[in-house]
Structure 1
């Protein structure tokens, strides 16, 4: 899989809390990406088996909003994401701050 800077940002955002379901707006904010960039990345990661996706189980009338599509790293996806980000950090000679989910590059 080709890892671009935006893809690395999405992976870092997902790895910030890998055992939690994430939704699009949250990932856009964490990764600093627009929806037109984020959703194709999420689709590619899902097709590669790195992400699971499912619809949130919520009553839209009760919640006052439509159900969200939720994304979570698979075990394989988390392992691959950690490896890819570690390699990129090594190539760049540093690691991002622990509080910033976006890569330093």
Structure 2
């Protein structure tokens, strides 16, 4: 069984941002701010996208003491995720008929 993703307005915002430049790694807070949402909304979406295999993540390799900030977790669409994200965004744009 294939896992499904409920494509809410917030999920669409994250996907649009990631699809806009799929070769760029972005860190979580950057994604949240660029998508216009709070981190507490963005991080669960990113975790779900990672669990679906749409997004890959990695921790930044820095010394937090030297950098004087915490390590950042970077996210980037996988090839499968890029295809799935484009399809999900296309479906989300289709008008829905009310019967």
TM-score (norm 1): 0.80
- The structure whose Rg is larger is 2
The equivalent residue for 1:52 is 56
> Does residue 23 of the first structure (1) align with residue 27 of the second (2)?
yes
The equivalent residue for 2:47 is 43
The equivalent residue for 1:82 is 86
Determine if contact 2:27/2:75 at 8 Å carries over to the other structure.
yes
Q: For 2:93 and 2:7, how far apart are their aligned partners in 1?
A: 13
Determine if contact 2:56/2:77 at 8 Å carries over to the other structure.
yes
Q: For 1:73 and 1:24, how far apart are their aligned partners in 2?
A: 13
Ranges in structure 2 where 5+ consecutive residues have no aligned partner? none
Ranges in structure 1 where 5+ consecutive residues have no aligned partner? 93-105
Determine if contact 2:7/2:92 at 8 Å carries over to the other structure.
no
Q: For 1:8 and 1:57, how far apart are their aligned partners in 2?
A: 29
Q: For 2:24 and 2:83, how far apart are their aligned partners in 1?
A: 15
TM-score (norm 2): 0.85
> Does residue 32 of the first structure (1) align with residue 44 of the second (2)?
no
Q: CA RMSD in A?
A: 1.4
Name the SS for the 1:91 alignment partner. Answer: coil
Name the SS for the 2:76 alignment partner. Answer: strand
